Copies of this chain bind each other. A is one copy, B any other.
Amino acid sequence: MLLVISYDVNTTEPAGEKRLRKVARFCEKYGVRVQNSVFELEVDPAMEAAVHCGLEKLIDKRKDSVRFYRLGSNWNNKVESIGRKQMISFGKDLIL
């Protein structure tokens, strides 16, 4: 299943910069960065739960925001991109 994660981490304080780096590094372990604050992850339910739980621990819930969009398994025609492209490969699939 394709899971899209977007985040806003409040970086007005140094601690925010640190959280931002941690969130980015965490997401990089599971998926592909498609924009500065957007990742696309190919996940199964167990991995989705792990990602959710991990991010919940990393952010400051009063200041930061993470959104999850479940695109399902047949997501090829649900994702589109214009402008500068980043090649993303999940197995044989390719979103351009």
B-contacting residues of A (Cβ < 8 Å)?
Answer: 4, 6-8, 10, 34-38, 52, 55-56, 59-72, 77-86
Contact = CB atoms under 8 A, between A and B. Distances in A.
Contacts of A70: 77-80
A31 B10 CA distance: 23
Contact of A67 (B7, B56, B67, B79): B79
A79 B81 CA distance: 20
Contacts of A84: 8, 10, 61-65
Contacts of A64: 83-84
A67 B55 contact: no
Contacts of A72: 78
Contacts of A52: 80, 82
A61 B82 contact: yes
